């Protein structure tokens, strides 16, 4: 098994340099896993690293999913078949620009819970999950003939807290399940002291200044092996921002510095993939920054798996230190299928009985209280006052569309500077409707406890309003009846198209504003063309079917279009260097 001696890694008592790349199985369709792994191996890497998102595997308390995109054991088995080693970084918390950092939203239903701590309730939930998850890895450990050579304890904990009892809990869990493997922590150089444990190897996460980073490691833990668990070669994007890139040669030169000092390396990311569905996270610093659907990350492979110039630059550097393999020739191609006419449309308000669950309560409940982790919730109540009434929109997380008596009146957003709003109620008896979108829970920092929906009753016109109807819309069910009565947005648009062969493609939504796209019932993710930088959604070929395909667009705000295009290249706005 993997060990450390005299500040170096050894595997089977032989010196070993970990050359790894990050691939998140849950961000890439299973049919493409082999393609991505073969490209990783062709670069000259010997290991693949992956996070494991708790919320993806236990979406509801006690209900587990390990199939399809969630089939972690199949991913590990494929890596083994290609003679690749595996580094596993389990939950509970992964960050990864993923919804709530991988923590399940149902945790927030307990108001007393203390996330990422040794608080008993939180640990009970983690242990119950680990009782299902961790036994799956035992047979895949290296000493049992599998490819797993290392597992992480928590994730960048030094940038969050200082509860060493919590970190030691993970050592006990691994021991409980017989996972006798190499354990490590990873943190940024300035946070490693709070996130480390005695007797556990400390690794670092950074993107530059190699000597400075390892100098701090040597001061903190002398004679530690040099390992960059996250070598940041790109960055992620957020809505209403610009597309981030990192110069290819700059990334390659820092990699050369790492090789010169004999460091082990994990490229974050080798292949980023896609935040399908509602699974993007968010950062919340001065304001709220929701992550876009694409997790391209300006990585060594593009979102759709194509080899980049950065990949080639890194391989050229690596060729000076090891014998690199021949390039892998992928058979996966992109295709422009052309225009698709959306022949049917219907208002979301006409479909509530088919696509939502109704809950009545005296006050509005948060999405977590409603057991509604993602998507949208419609809140409705009666207001029996006439005239202008003011309220504070800080009760609404994250974005909402407000209607009075069936008429759209305004939009609120978590980042609005002006929170004090006035609504005009024209009648003595009025219907107030507020459609709220969860745009992704914070995945990093102090705002992990990030409730969505209407999180407290509205103080409207200097009084509370009671007796609310709530419609839970997660879009697991899509409308079948496109009989239109109401003309309000949001609207579902449906079209069909035929294909003879299956290729990757991109959905171009020019002329649409904001919403989601579904292909044959699968949620590709969010688009927000009026914000950018992402202007197209990646559609992997395996999600198509030979013959007839159904595409549904949920447009939240406005459009005058009834066609979309399937194109062969992605589209993003100007790059941010």
The residues assigned a catalytic role are: 156, 230
Residue 295 phi/psi, 5-degree rounding, is -115, 45
- For Cα atoms 230, 231, 237, give the angle at the middle one, nearest 5 degrees: 85
Do residues 258 and 265 lie in contact, with contact meaning Cβ atoms separated by under 8 Å?
Answer: yes
Residue 351 corresponds to which tokens in the numbers above? 């479909």
Q: Kindly state the helix (H) or strand (E) to which residue 248 belongs, with its residue range.
A: helix 248-260
Quote the CA–CA distance of 83 and 398 in Å, as a whole number: 45
Do residues 517 and 553 lie in contact, with contact meaning Cβ atoms separated by under 8 Å?
Answer: yes
- Pairing state between β 357-361 and 468-473: antiparallel
Length of the chain: 577
Quote the CA–CA distance of 311 and 290 in Å, as a whole number: 28
Do residues 93 and 101 lie in contact, with contact meaning Cβ atoms separated by under 8 Å?
Answer: yes
Quote the CA–CA distance of 513 and 557 in Å, as a whole number: 6
Collapsed DSSP state (helix, strand, coil) of residue 21: strand
Quote the CA–CA distance of 237 and 96 in Å, as a whole number: 12
Rg (CA), the chain: 25
CA nearest neighbour of 529 among 511, 541, 517: 511
CA distance to 98, 395, 400, 465, 466, per residue, from 412 (Å)? 24, 10, 5, 19, 21
CA nearest neighbour of 53 among 20, 22, 21, 99: 99
The residues near 210 (Cβ < 8 Å, ≥ 6 apart) are 254, 257, 258, 261, 263
Residue 325 phi/psi, 5-degree rounding, is -70, 170
Quote the CA–CA distance of 378 and 364 in Å, as a whole number: 10
Cis status of the peptide bond prior to 442, with omega within 30 of 0: no
Total Cβ atoms within 10 A of residue 569? 11
């Amino acid at each position: 098994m993997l060990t450390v001696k005299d500040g170096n890694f050894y595997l089977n008592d032989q010196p070993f340099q970990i050359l790894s790349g990050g691939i998140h199985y849950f961000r890439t369709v299973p049919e493409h896993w082999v393609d991505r792994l073969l490209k990783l191996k062709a670069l000259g890497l010997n290991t693949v690293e992956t996070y494991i998102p708790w919320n993806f595997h236990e979406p509801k308390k006690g209900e587990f999913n390990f199939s399809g995109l969630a089939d972690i054991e199949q991913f590990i088995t494929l890596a083994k078949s290609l003679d690749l080693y595996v580094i596993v970084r389990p939950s509970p918390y992964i960050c990864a620009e993923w919804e709530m950092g991988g923590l399940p939203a149902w945790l927030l239903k307990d108001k007393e819970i203390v996330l990422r701590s040794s608080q008993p309730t939180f640990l009970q939930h983690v242990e119950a999950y680990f009782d299902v998850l961790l036994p799956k890895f035992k047979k895949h450990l290296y000493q049992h003939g599998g490819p797993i050579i290392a597992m992480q304890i928590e994730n960048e904990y030094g940038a969050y807290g200082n509860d060493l009892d919590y970190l030691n809990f993970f050592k006990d869990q691994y021991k409980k399940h017989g996972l006798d493997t190499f354990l490590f922590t990873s943190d940024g150089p300035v946070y490693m002291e709070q996130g480390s444990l005695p007797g556990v190897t400390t690794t670092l996460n950074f993107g530059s200044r190699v000597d400075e980073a390892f100098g701090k490691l040597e001061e903190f833990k002398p004679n530690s092996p040099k390992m960059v668990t996250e070598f940041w070669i790109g960055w992620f994007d957020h809505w209403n921002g610009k597309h981030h890139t990192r110069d290819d040669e700059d990334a390659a030169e820092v990699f050369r510095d790492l090789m010169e000092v004999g460091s082990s390396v994990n490229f974050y990311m080798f292949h980023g993939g896609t935040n399908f569905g509602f699974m993007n996270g968010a950062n919340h610093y001065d304001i709220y920054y929701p992550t876009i659907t694409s997790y391209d990350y300006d990585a060594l492979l593009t979102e759709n798996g194509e080899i980049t110039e950065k990949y080639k630059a890194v391989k050229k550097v690596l060729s000076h230190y090891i014998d690199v393999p021949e390039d892998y020739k992928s058979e996966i191609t992109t295709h422009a299928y052309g225009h698709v006419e959306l022949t049917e449309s219907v208002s979301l308000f006409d479909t509530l009985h088919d696509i939502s669950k109704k809950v009545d309560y005296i006050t509005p409940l948060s999405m977590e209280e409603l057991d509604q982790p993602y998507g949208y919730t419609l809140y409705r109540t009666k207001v029996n006052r006439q005239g202008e009434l003011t309220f504070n929109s800080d009760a609404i997380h994250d974005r909402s569309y407000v209607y009075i008596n069936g008429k759209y009146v305004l939009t609120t957003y978590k980042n609005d500077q002006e929170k004090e709003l006035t609504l005009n109620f024209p009648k003595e008896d009025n219907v107030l409707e507020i459609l709220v979108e969860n745009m992704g829970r914070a995945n990093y920092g102090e705002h992990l406890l990030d409730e969505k929906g209407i999180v407290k009753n509205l103080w409207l016109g200097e009084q509370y309003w009671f007796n609310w109807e709530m419609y839970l819309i997660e879009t697991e069910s899509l409308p079948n009846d496109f009989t239109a009565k109401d003309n309000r947005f949001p609207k579902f648009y449906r079209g069909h198209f035929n294909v003879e062969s299956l290729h990757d493609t991109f959905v171009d939504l020019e002329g649409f504003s904001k919403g989601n796209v579904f292909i044959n019932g699968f949620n590709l993710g969010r688009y927000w063309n009026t914000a950018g930088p992402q202007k197209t959604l990646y559609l992997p070929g395996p999600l198509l079917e030979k013959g007839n395909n159904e595409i549904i667009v949920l447009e939240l705000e406005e459009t005058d279009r009834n066609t979309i295009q399937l194109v062969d290249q992605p589209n993003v706005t100007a790059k941010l260097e």
